[in-house]
């Protein structure tokens, strides 16, 4: 095993390029045959695992958990074995495509397993167990006398209530759900790191950071660079929002020059602050005009209809309607007769036409956006479905997360008027920008810090005795929020965020937040030749924009991501100047409002 480990570690460096002329030498032919076979076997197990995961997540029981864990184990075993066999091709001259495929095979799993079958079984079981614990999680507040709240039930209270104690109860109540995850997570870290090492990586952090067509350290530096670009805007938004919260709750509860108590920002993780819009709207008299929830409800739009409206946007771009099976097999609403994982996701179960989403939709603006987000995943999956299995992914994971959000950026007031959801398109530009900033700018530091924490854990810089302290250090450093009540190592607050127990990498959402504005700017300026402010541009109905998007999606992961970025935007670097340009008028306004105020924490 040890030999394999070393050899795999050197694999990327040692795989040499084939000469451009002549046919492939015998060893290269052998490599191609090996990969063809590996991909075929991978595809079968991947589909099996997805099928069992769909059933588990839409019907959590001991049995569905066991079945899903077993399929997951089978997939982990297969990928581990094939990646080890690929060592055989070290030193063989290979085409870029074959080299890329070997790298994609090594980095395929978010949760690689140790070669030891007993440990592999344990890891698969823990992975399933943590995710199910989260899915089943409930909070039963005393005041409700036996009635329990699921996570989606709590969202609305957090967004709408201004009752400090009620918010605190919900916030602390949900964080009891993650306490039992702590020992599972700790063991998961040991096992998954062992799995990453067997594949030739230092640890799981290095594996995750190796998926961006650049050295892992350079990728980390890249995220720092992007954060530095947007940090001043975040700090100005934070400063203004805090001042409004001080007025609302008093300075005993919200320190005017300190971090904001995390339960007051309208969201369970303070990751987006849309719930505070009425408190912070630049032109409060016109705030109600932007109430999409009221518009949806007034028109009697139900959950399915919300999805239909989102689908119609994609179709307006020249993309095909979703298949009939999508409407039959998706889960749109929260079943009350069984346990499910409500956290939204999009699936292509047979990696062909079996597209589905799984969501517990509520009729409100946030879920309307999330539906576009999920359909973005489905359209991406469908676009790359004919590529070789290892290329069936987005250019990098930020692209997958950005696609649907790009569409949602075009859900402007004029678009909503055009489709008859609102009567008046005109309104305050600053209000519209503030509403988006509460969603997009507020999110940035959170998008960054979740993996800053996990990288530290996987790399051994953050040990189990520091899990929670390190989490809150990062929350304060990046977001400027603080826990409203003392926390300790008896708590496990990172586990209260879905992607930690589900083991979904999170930096992708930070990248997506930057990329979607880059996509939007390029389409608006270069395809639509739109001259006005970016937030007023909508690509609705534009077939050329649709064709550009489709071209990028169809590349899947077959080429390094800068090429996919260039296909859509003509740019080859991730760059936050588009998001800054989009919000520039609001940023100016915020700076004026904050004049004379002490910002920061």
Chain residues binding Zn ion by CB under 5 A are 401
Evaluated on CA atoms 441, 170, 330, 53, the torsion sign reads positive
The residue sitting closest to ligand X8Z, measured at its beta carbon, is: 344
Phi, psi of 150 (to 5 degrees): -90, 170
Residue 477 per-residue DSSP state: I
DSSP strand pairing (355-358 vs 345-348): antiparallel
C-beta of 131: minimal distance to ligand X8Z in Å? 13
341 lies in the site for ligand X8Z, by CB under 6 A:
no
C-alpha 320/C-alpha 315 separation (Å) is 6
Contacts of 179 (CB under 8 A, 6+ apart): 490, 491, 492, 495
Task: Count CB neighbours of 596 within 10 A.
Answer: 5
CA 364 to chain centre: 20
Q: What is the nearest approach in angstroms of ligand X8Z to the Cβ of residue 338?
A: 21
DSSP lists the bridge partners of residue 357 as 346
- Pair of tokens at residue 566: 């260039």
Q: Which of 272, 252, 253 is nearest to 261 (CA)?
A: 253
CA distances 331 to 57, 359, 456, Å, are 10, 6, 36
Half-sphere CA count of 250, side-chain side, radius 13 A: 4
Q: Is 344 near ligand X8Z (CB under 6 A)?
A: yes
Closer to Zn ion by Cβ: residue 175 or 508? 508
- Number of residue whose CB is nearest Zn ion: 401
Choosing from 132, 345, 476, 542, the residue that interacts with ligand X8Z (CB under 6 A) is 345
Instruction: Choose the contact partner of 92 out of ligand X8Z, Zn ion, none; CB within 5 to 8 A by kind.
Output: none
Handedness of CA 110, 112, 117, 118 (dihedral sign): negative
Candidates 171, 212, 509, 589; binder of ligand X8Z (CB under 6 A) is: 509
C-alpha pair distances (Å), 391 with each of 307, 382, 509: 28, 13, 21
| Minimum CB–partner distance for residue 181 and Zn ion (Å) | 22
Contact 481, 261 (CB under 8 A): yes
Cβ at position 374, least distance to ligand X8Z in Å: 7
Rounded distance between C-alpha atoms, residue 102 and residue 89, angstroms: 9
Q: Pick what 345 binds: ligand X8Z, Zn ion, none; C-beta below 5 to 8 Å, kind-dependent.
A: ligand X8Z
Q: How far is the CB of 326 from Zn ion (least distance, A)?
A: 17
Please say which residue, 150 or 428, places its beta carbon nearer to ligand X8Z: 150
Retrieve residue 581's tokens: 């340009």
* Separation CA 36–CA 267 (nearest Å): 46
Catalytic residues: 343-344, 373-374, 377, 401, 499, 509
| Token output for 125 | 């079981």
Alpha-carbon gap, residue 14 to 35, rounded angstroms: 18
Angle at alpha carbon of residue 438, lines to 433 and 444, rounded to 5°:
110
C-beta of 507: minimal distance to ligand X8Z in Å?
Answer: 11
Nearer to ligand X8Z, 370 or 594 (CB): 370
CB of 358 to Zn ion, least distance (A): 12
Q: Which is nearer to Zn ion, 287 or 407 (CB)?
A: 407
Asked whether the beta carbons of 478 and 364 are under 8 A apart, the reply is no
Residue 247 in contact with residue 401, Cβ under 8 Å? no
- Looking at the Cβ atoms of 340 and 513, the one nearer to Zn ion is 513
For Zn ion, give the closer residue by CB, 444 or 462.
Answer: 444
Choose from Zn ion, ligand X8Z, none: what does 520 bind? Cβ within 5-8 Å by kind.
none
Least CB distance from residue 404 to ligand X8Z, whole Å? 9
Taking the complex as a whole, the smallest distance from the CB of residue 403 to Zn ion amounts, in Å, to 9
For ligand X8Z, give the closer residue by CB, 527 or 579: 579
Could you tell which of ligand X8Z, Zn ion, none binds residue 370, using a CB distance below 5 to 8 A set by kind?
Answer: ligand X8Z
Map tokens 């994971």 to a residue: 397
Q: Quick one: 122 or 401, whose CB is closer to Zn ion?
A: 401
Least distance to ligand X8Z, CB of residue 342, Å: 10
**What distance lies between CA 66 and its chain's CA centroid?**
26
182 vs 377 by CB, closer to ligand X8Z = 377
- Beta strand 260-261 with 481-482 is parallel
Question: Secondary structure of the chain: what % helix, strand, coil (to 5)?
Answer: 65, 5, 35
Total residues in contact with ligand X8Z, by rule CB under 6 A: 5
The one among 49, 52, 369, 370 contacting ligand X8Z by CB under 6 A: 370
> Residues with Cβ < 8 Å from 551, sequence gap 6 or more?
567, 568
Kindly report the CA angle at 360 between 355 and 361, in degrees rounded to 5?
90
Measured from the CB atom, the residue of 367 and 401 that comes closer to Zn ion is 401
d(CA 388, CA 65): 30
* Contact positions vs ligand X8Z (CB under 6 A): 344-345, 370, 373, 509
């Amino acid at each position: 095993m040890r030999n394999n480990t070393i050899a795999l570690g050197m694999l990327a460096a040692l795989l040499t390029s084939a000469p451009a002329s002549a046919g492939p030498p015998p060893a290269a032919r052998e490599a191609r045959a090996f990969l063809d076979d590996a991909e075929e076997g991978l595809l079968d197990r991947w589909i099996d695992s997805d099928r069992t995961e769909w059933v588990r997540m839409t019907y959590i029981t001991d049995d569905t958990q066991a079945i899903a864990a077993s399929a997951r184990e089978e997939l982990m075993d297969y990928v581990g074995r094939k990646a080890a066999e690929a060592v055989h091709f070290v030193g063989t001259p290979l085409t870029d495509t074959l080299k890329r495929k070997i790298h994609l095979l090594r980095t395929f799993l978010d949760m690689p397993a140790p070669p030891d079958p007993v440990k592999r079984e344990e890891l698969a079981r823990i992975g399933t167990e943590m995710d199910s614990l989260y899915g089943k999680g409930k909070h039963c507040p005393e005041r409700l006398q036996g009635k329990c709240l699921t996570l989606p039930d709590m969202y609305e209270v957090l967004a709408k209530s201004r009752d400090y104690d009620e918010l605190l109860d919900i916030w602390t109540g949900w964080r009891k759900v993650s306490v039992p995850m702590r020992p599972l997570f700790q063991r998961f870290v040991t096992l998954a790191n062992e799995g990453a090492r067997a594949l030739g990586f230092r640890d799981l952090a290095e594996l995750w950071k190796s998926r961006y067509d650049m050295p892992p350290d350079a990728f980390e530096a890249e995220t720092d660079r992007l954060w530095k670009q947007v940090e001043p805007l975040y700090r100005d938004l934070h400063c203004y929002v805090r001042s409004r919260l001080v007025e609302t709750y008093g300075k005993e509860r919200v320190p005017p020059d300190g971090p904001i108590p995390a339960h007051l920002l309208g969201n369970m993780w303070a990751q987006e602050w849309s719930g505070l819009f009425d408190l912070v709207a630049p032109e409060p008299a016109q705030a109600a005009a932007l109430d999409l929830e009221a518009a949806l409800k007034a028109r009697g739009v139900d959950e399915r209809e919300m999805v239909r409206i989102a689908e119609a946007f994609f179709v307006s771009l020249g993309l095909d309607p979703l298949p009939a099976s999508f409407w039959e097999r998706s889960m749109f609403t929260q079943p009350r007769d069984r346990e499910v994982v409500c956290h939204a996701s999009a699936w292509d179960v047979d990696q062909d036409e079996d597209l589905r989403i799984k969501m517990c939709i509520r009729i409100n603006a946030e879920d309307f956006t999330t539906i576009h987000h999920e359909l973005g995943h489905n359209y991406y999956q469908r676009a790359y479905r004919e590529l070789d299995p290892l290329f069936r992914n987005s250019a990098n994971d930020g692209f997958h997360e950005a696609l649907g959000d790009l569409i949602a950026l075009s859900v402007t007031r004029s678009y909503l008027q055009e489709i008859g959801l609102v009567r008046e398109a005109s309104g305050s530009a600053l209000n519209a920008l503030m509403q988006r900033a509460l969603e997009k700018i507020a999110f940035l530091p959170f998008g960054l810090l979740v993996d800053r924490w996990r990288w530290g854990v996987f790399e051994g810089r953050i040990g189990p005795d520091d899990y929670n302290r390190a989490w809150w250090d990062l929350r304060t450093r990046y977001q400027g929020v603080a826990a409203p009540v003392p926390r300790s190592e008896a708590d496990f607050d990172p586990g209260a965020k879905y992607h930690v127990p589900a083991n979904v990498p999170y930096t992708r959402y930070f990248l997506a937040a930057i990329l979607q504005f880059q996509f939007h700017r390029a389409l608006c300026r270069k395809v639509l030749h739109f001259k006005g402010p970016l937030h007023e541009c909508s690509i609705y109905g534009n077939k050329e924009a649709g064709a550009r998007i489709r071209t990028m999606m169809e590349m899947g992961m077959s080429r390094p991501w800068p090429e996919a970025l260039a296909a859509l935007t003509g740019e080859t670097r991730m760059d936050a100047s588009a998001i800054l340009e989009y919000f520039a008028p609001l940023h100016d306004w915020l700076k004026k409002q904050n004049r004379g105020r002490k910002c920061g924490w």
